[in-house]
Amino acid sequence: AAEPWPENAALYQQLKEEQILLSDNASSLAVQAFLQMCNLPVRVVCRANAEYMSPSGKVPFIHVGNQVVSELGPIVQFVKAKGHSLSDGLDEVQKAEMKAYMELVNNMLLTAELYLQWCDDVTVEEITHPRYGSPYPWPLNRILSYQKQWEIRRKMKAIGWAGKSLEQVLEDVDQCCQALSQRLGTQPYFFNKQPTELDALVFGHLFTILTTQLTTDELSEKVKNYGNLTAFCRRIEQQYFEGHKDNSATAAAGSAKRSLLR
């Protein structure tokens, strides 16, 4: 029999104010949103070495009882095994659609975020390098940043993104947002009345893009073009994050934050 969800479940990510980067913040927020939607309490713990503690090398990861699970996909399955699921009400075709859209977000939005952080020289110099290694003394901070950058660039090259220009990446983000916007339409959530893990994932990425200050505003402008997407983010923020000061999305990382409720 599955054990009940313990009170002291913890979600680990990097340091909010100084260290965490756009893509990791988005992933972490997606998981937080998902757990909130399932009504499962979790406290957010910030550690500089969160990435190294994680079993798959990626943040966020959750520590529940004596198990450690990382990344949204496995966490969704883990939570399902404990008896909580957001997508049980969907039929087979809808589940297929949901998985397809989640892949789209991962494929386009997450990769675009990584590209911007690690392959765009201006952003790398001004934001990524200073932030990524900030908890560590020189020269370790520089070494870690360069190592990570090299790794990400290799991956980008393997999937064919290395040759893209920033404009092309932004265009891809635009297409992705357009697709999401069209799918959402005028519904409150992607599958009408109830939020699912897809809503959590989309919220995590879009909210982070909208509220993180980068060297330019182009990325967030792309998202802002779609009114129903910004309304969607606002709705989820209000419903699931108001009144939870510790887990509040507005306290999440990045440089100066701009609240959506303006």
Partner 1 sequence: LQAYAKFSGAPLTVNTINNSWRPPKGDVPVLISEDIVISQPAKILNFLRKQKYNADYELSAKQGADTLAYIALLEEKLLPALLHTFWVEAENYCSVTKPWFASRIPFPLSLYLPGKMSREALNRILLTRGGPPLFSLTEVEAQIYRDAKECLNLLSKRLGTSQFFFGNTPTTLDAFVFGFLAPVYKVCFPRVQLQEHLKQLPNLCRFCDDILTCYFRLTVSGHSPSGQDTADANLQKLTQLVNKESNLIEKMDDNLRKSPQHPPRKLTTLKLAAGGEESSPLNRLSP
Q: How many residues bind partner 1 (CB under 8 A)?
A: 34
Q: Does residue 80 interact with partner 1 by CB under 8 A? A: no
Judged by CB under 8 A, does residue 150 bind partner 1?
A: no
- Shortest CA distance to 42 belongs to which of 11, 67, 71? 11
Is the peptide bond prior to 135 cis by the omega test (within 30 degrees of 0)? no
Dihedral (Cα; 232, 32, 13, 214), 10-degree rounding: 10
Q: Are 162 and 153 in contact (CB under 8 A)?
A: yes
- C-beta of 95: minimal distance to partner 1 in Å? 8
Q: Give me the least distance between CB of 37 and partner 1, in Å please.
A: 21
Q: Encoding tokens for residue 81?
A: 């095994």
| 99 lines the binding site for partner 1 (CB under 8 A) | yes
| Options 171, 216, 224, 235; binder of partner 1; rule CB under 8 A | 171
Contact between 7 and partner 1 by CB under 8 A: the answer reads no
Which residues, 6 or more positions from 80, have their beta carbon under 8 angstroms from its beta carbon? none
Q: Which of 9, 10, 48, 179 binds partner 1 (CB under 8 A)?
A: 179
In this complex, which beta carbon is closest to partner 1, that of residue 166 or of residue 253?
A: 166
Which of 1, 2, 158, 261: binder of partner 1 (CB under 8 A)?
Answer: 158
Least Å distance, CB 213 to partner 1, is 27
160 binds partner 1 (CB under 8 A): yes
DSSP code string of 25-94:
HHHHHHHHHHHHHTT---EEEE-TTHHHHSTTS-S-EEEETTEEEESHHHHHHHHHHTT--SSTTS-HHH
DSSP bridge partners of 62:
11, 69
- Comparison of 155 and 235: residue with beta carbon closer to partner 1: 155
Q: Which residues contact 94 (CB under 8 A, 6 or more apart)?
A: 191
Q: Least distance from C-beta 160 to partner 1, angstroms?
A: 5
Distance CA 72, CA 58 (A): 10
Q: Of 47, 80, 82, 183, which one interacts with partner 1 (CB under 8 A)?
A: 183
189-248 residues in contact with partner 1 (CB under 8 A) are none
Q: What is the contact mask toward partner 1 in residues 50 to 69, using x (rule: CB under 8 A)?
A: -----xxxx-----------
Least separation, in Å, of the C-beta of 173 and partner 1?
A: 11
Which helix (H) or strand (E) covers residue 12, if one does?
strand 10-13
**Least Å distance between CB 254 and partner 1?**
25
**Shortest Å, Cβ 21 to partner 1:** 17
Tokens at residue 41, please? 């309490």
CA distance 62 to 67: 8
**Binding stretches for partner 1 (CB under 8 A):** 55-58, 92-93, 95-97, 99-101, 103-104, 106-108, 154-155, 158-160, 164, 168, 171-172, 175-176, 178-180, 182-183, 185
